[in-house]
Amino acid sequence: MPNQRLSVVVTRRLPDVVETRLKELFDVALRYDDAPMRREDLVEAVRRADVLVPTITDQIDATLLAQAGDKLKLIANYGAGVDHIDVQSARQRGILVSNTPGVVTDDTADMTLALMLAVTRRIPQGLAEMQGDGWRGWSPMAHLGTRIGGKRLGILGMGRIGQAVALRARAFGMQIHYHNRRRLRPEIEDALEATWWESLDQMVARMDVISVNCPHTPSTFHLMNARRLKLMKPSAVIINTSRGEVIDENALTRGLRAGEIAGAGLDVFEQRHDINPRLRELPNVVLLPHMGSATREGRIEMGEKVILNVKTFADGHRPPDQVVPSML
C-alpha cells in the first residue's frame, strides 16, 4: 500500500514516544483509557482499520475476524506471543499477522532468575516480616532457603529466552539441562554447557529447578500436566515466565499444597488475570502480575518493532516479523 496513509487502531496505551511516532506516520486512533478494549469496540476497530495493533489482552478469534471489513489487511501485534490471535483464520481472510520477537528476551530472562531466587531464598517472607515490623533480629535458623549454585536447572523450551536464562544461570553456578522440540546445534550446546534430554519425563524427574520458557501452542497446552508434575522431586521448584496454559494450574496447586513440590514462581497464569485463589494462600509460591517484559526500554523497543512492521507494509512489502501458521 505505497503512498497511502494507513488507518491504524491501537487497542491499549503505549509509551508516549511510540504513540507520537505512530501519529507522525499514520492516521492513528490511540487508546487513552488504559484498559482492555471492549468486544464491541474491537468489532468496530476491525471493520474500519487498515491495521490493528492489539496486545495479549485482546482476543482476536475467528468470530471477530469474520466481522472484519475488507480494509483490514494487517494485525501488527504489540508483543511476541500470538496465541490470542487466530493466525490461521487471519491468513484465510488475507490478513497478515506480525509480532515483536526478540525484544524482551533479556528482560524475561532476568525476571526468571529473579523469581528463582525469590522462591529459593524466601525473599517475599523476609520482606513481609520487615514491612510488618515483625523482625526481632538475626537467628541462625531463621528464613532458611536453598542455594541455587550447583543445582540442576531444567529449561523447557530452549529458544531465545531459554538460552538467555541458561547464560544467567551458568553465572550462578547452575548445571544446565533442557528439553526442546529440536536439539540445539553442538556449538550452542557447548557454549551453554547444556545437556539435551529427549525425554521430558526423565528430565523433569531429575531437576532441582524447572523453568518454563516455551510458547503456548496446542502441543504445549498442559505440557506440565498432573502426571508430569508428580515426577518432580519434592525439593524441586518450578518457574514460569512464559504462558500460564503450559502448566495445569490446578494440579500444580494440589502438588504445592501437599508438599510434593517445594515451591513455584509464577509470572503468568492459566486463566490470565483470574488466578486460582488457593495459590494466593501458599507461602511457598511467589506470584507476579505478568511483569516479565515490563521495562521501559523493552516497551519502547516493542513499539519500534510494531512501527517497522506497519511502515514496511505501508511501503508495499511484507512485514519483517510476519507470523505464519507453520511457525506456531
- Any bridge partners for residue 178, and if so which? 155, 196
Q: Are 319 and 90 in contact (CB under 8 A)?
A: no
Same domain for 301 and 273? no
Burial 289-319 (b: 16+ CB within 10 A, else e): ebebbebeebbbbbbbbbbbbbbbbbeeeeb
5: cell is 496513509
3-state secondary structure of 13: coil
Is it the case that residue 124 has pLDDT exceeding 80?
A: yes
Q: Which amino acid is at 204?
A: V
Q: What is the pLDDT of residues 103-115, one digit of tens each?
A: 999 999 999 999 9
* Residue 1: pLDDT band with limits 50, 70, 90: very low
* Same domain, residue pair 142 and 276: yes
Q: Whole-model pTM?
A: 0.89
Which whole number is the average pLDDT over 30-47?
93
266 in any annotated domain: yes
Judged against a pLDDT cut of 50, whether residue 25 lies above it is answered with yes
Pair (241, 121) in one structural domain = yes
In a domain? residue 1 = no
User: Are 84 and 122 within one domain?
Assistant: no
The model's confidence at residue 3, banded by pLDDT at 50, 70 and 90, is low
- Do 155 and 178 contact (CB within 8 A), yes or no? yes
> Do 304 and 248 lie in a common domain?
no
Integer angstrom CA distances of residue 115 from 71, 178, 231: 44, 19, 22
| Residue 31 is assigned to a structural domain of this protein | yes
Strand 285-287 relative to strand 263-266, pairing: parallel
Cell triple for 117: 531466587
C-alpha cell at position 229: 508434575
Dist CA 20 CA 88 (whole Å): 32
Q: Are residues 129 and 96 in the same domain?
A: no
Q: 92 with 125, same domain? A: no
CB-CB neighbours of 2 under 10 Å: 7
| Contact indicator for 243, 215 with CB cutoff of 8 Å | yes
Average pLDDT, integer, range 254-274: 94
Q: Is residue 2 part of a domain?
A: no
Using CA atoms of 133, 289, 200, 185 in order, give the dihedral in degrees to the nearest 10.
-110
Distance CA(110)–CA(215), nearest Å, equals 18
- Per the DSSP assignment, residues forming a β-bridge with 160 are none
Same domain, 147 and 209: yes
Confidence band, pLDDT 50/70/90 cuts, at residue 248? very high
Q: How far is CA 26 from CA 48, 209, 241, 307, 313, in A?
A: 14, 47, 34, 10, 12
Please give the residue range of the domain that contains residue 261. 105-287
**Residues 301, 270 share a domain:** no
Per-residue confidence (pLDDT) for residue 182, from 0 to 100: 93
The mean per-residue pLDDT over the stretch 269-283 comes to 90
pLDDT of 326 strictly over 80:
no
Instruction: Establish if 320 belongs to a structural domain.
Output: yes
Give the number of domains in the chain.
2
Q: Specify if 230 maps to a domain.
A: yes
Length of the chain: 328
Average pLDDT score over the chain: 94
Indicate whether 151 belongs to any domain. Answer: yes
Q: Are residues 127 and 205 in the same domain?
A: yes
Instruction: Give the CATH number of the domain where residue 247 resides.
Output: 3.40.50.720
Which pLDDT value is given to residue 324?
A: 84
Same structural domain, 32 and 124 = no
Claim to verify: residue 190 and residue 124 sit in the same structural domain: yes
Number of H helices, E strands in the chain: 13, 13
User: What residue type is 135 in one-letter code?
Assistant: W
Integer Cα distance of 155 and 176 in angstroms: 8
The amino acid sitting at 180 is N
What cell numbers appear for 16 in the block? Answer: 508516549
Tell whether the model's pLDDT for residue 37 goes beyond 50: yes
pLDDT tens for 163-201 read 999 999 999 999 999 999 999 999 999 999 999 999 999
The pLDDT of residue 4: 66
Nearest C-alpha neighbor of 192 from the set 210, 168, 215: 168
